[in-house]
Amino acid sequence: MTSPPMKITDLKTNDDVAAEWSAADRAFRAERERTSLAHAISLIVLRNRTDHGLSQRALGNRLGMTQPHVSRIESGDANPSMDTLFTLSASLGIELAISIQPAGASLQLVAKQALTTPLHVPIDTPRVSILVAARA
């Protein structure tokens, strides 16, 4: 007798899996926290690129970067430099708001309006909460 097929709603999300691994593995938790800003920026860049129907090469041309550099940004493995953030904002015509606060604290300096923008990525780690929001 076979079991019924699994529904997509029964699957764990990436955030669920990451939270489980973070709870069980201190090294994973430290790496996730170290790259959390990079992950948030990568999601915003990827979403912006796909919303505009651009390839990585076309986005790279717009940013004055190579396709491999765009790929590295979208991978979220390394935190972007301030120069890269300046380039993303200026070349894509987007406002970037980045808020980092102690875990569990509420937003104080970044307007709560950032949470209503279509391009916002909240990330919670055991030590800090990060919010990256973008608006054209």
Structure tokens at 136: 């054209």
Per residue in 30-66, pLDDT (tens digit) is 888 888 899 999 999 999 999 999 999 999 999 999 9
Q: Give the H or E element holding residue 46.
A: helix 36-51
Q: What confidence score (pLDDT) does residue 14 get?
A: 67
Q: What is the pTM of this model?
A: 0.77
Per residue in 95-136, pLDDT (tens digit) is 999 988 898 888 777 777 787 888 888 888 888 888 898 988
First to last CA, the chain: 54
Comparison of pLDDT for 4 and 47, the residue scoring more? 47
Q: 14-135 is classed in which CATH architecture?
A: Orthogonal Bundle (1.10)
- β-bridge mates for residue 134, sequence order: 96, 119
Whether the predicted pLDDT of 1 surpasses 70: no
Residue type, 115: L
